[in-house]
C-alpha cells in the first residue's frame, strides 16, 4: 500500500506543481492587464477622447470581470460612467453651453469614481482629489483639440451643404500703376 502511495505521489507531484505554476502565471497576467488599464486611464485622464483612453475603458468589462467584490465595484462604476457617456445634448437646445458644462463636470466625477474603485481593487492608495486634479494637460492640447473640432465641424457643414464657403475677391497690386486695357476704337 505504501508503494502505491509513493508511486502516485511521484507521478502526480510534478503534474500538480505545473498546474499550480500555470494558475499563478494566469493570476499574475490578469493583475498586470488590470494595472495596464489603470495606468493608461491615469495617464490619459486629462485627454479622455484620446484613442488609448477609449480603448482602455473598453477593456474594463473583460479584465475586471469576476466574482471579487472589488472587481465588481470597478465594473459597476464603469457602467455608470459609460451610461453617462451615451447621454447626448441636443445641438438646438438654447441652454446647450450650460448643459455641456454640467455634462463635462459629471463626466469628470464619474471618471474619478471609476479610477478610485480601480485603485482600491489594485491596492493603490489614491484619494479622489489626486485622481481628479492630479492630471496635467497643457492648454495647448486643449487649444489644438478645439481647433481640430472646429475645422472638422466646418468641413462637415460645408460638405453636407449646410454652410457655404466664403469667397472674397482681392485685387492684386504690384506697386506699379495699373493700366486699364484700351479698346481699338480709341485714337491717340
The 10 Å Cβ neighbour count of residue 72 is: 15
pLDDT at residue 181, rounded to an integer: 57
Q: Which residue has the cell 502526480?
A: 12
Q: Which residue has the cell 505504501?
A: 2
Give the three cell numbers for residue 81. Answer: 460612467
* 124 pLDDT higher than 60: yes
The pTM for the full model equals: 0.69
* 183 pLDDT higher than 70: no
CA–CA separation, 117 vs 34, rounded Å? 12
Least confident of 3-17, 50-64, 143-157: 3-17
pLDDT at residue 179, rounded to an integer: 56
Q: What confidence tens digit (pLDDT) does each residue in 142-157 have?
A: 788 888 888 888 888 8
* 14 pLDDT higher than 90: no
Max CA separation in the chain (angstroms): 135
| Inter-residue contact 35 to 123 (CB < 8 Å) | no
What is the mean predicted confidence (pLDDT) over 38-42?
Answer: 96
> Per residue in 13-45, is it b (16+ CB within 10 Å) or e — as a string?
eeeeeeeeeeeeeeeeeeeeebeebbebbbebb
Compute the mean pLDDT over every residue in the chain, rounded to the nearest whole number: 86
Amino acid at each position: 500500500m505504501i508503494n502505491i502511495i509513493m508511486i502516485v505521489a511521484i507521478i502526480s507531484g510534478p503534474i500538480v506543481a505545473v498546474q499550480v505554476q500555470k494558475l499563478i502565471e494566469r493570476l499574475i497576467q490578469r493583475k498586470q492587464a488590470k494595472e495596464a488599464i489603470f495606468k493608461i486611464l491615469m495617464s490619459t485622464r486629462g485627454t479622455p477622447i484620446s484613442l488609448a483612453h477609449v480603448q482602455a475603458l473598453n477593456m474594463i468589462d473583460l479584465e475586471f470581470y469576476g466574482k471579487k467584490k472589488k472587481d465588481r465595484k470597478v465594473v459597476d462604476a464603469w457602467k455608470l460612467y459609460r451610461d453617462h457617456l451615451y447621454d447626448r445634448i441636443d445641438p438646438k437646445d438654447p441652454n446647450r453651453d450650460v448643459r455641456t458644462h454640467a455634462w463635462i463636470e459629471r463626466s469628470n466625477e464619474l471618471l474619478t469614481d471609476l479610477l478610485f474603485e480601480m485603485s482600491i481593487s489594485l491596492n493603490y492608495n489614491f484619494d479622489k482629489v489626486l485622481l481628479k486634479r492630479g492630471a496635467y494637460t497643457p492648454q495647448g492640447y486643449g487649444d489644438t483639440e478645439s481647433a481640430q473640432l472646429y475645422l472638422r465641424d466646418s468641413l462637415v457643414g460645408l460638405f453636407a451643404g449646410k454652410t457655404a464657403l466664403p469667397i472674397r475677391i482681392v485685387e492684386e497690386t504690384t506697386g506699379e500703376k495699373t493700366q486699364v486695357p484700351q479698346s481699338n476704337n480709341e485714337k491717340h
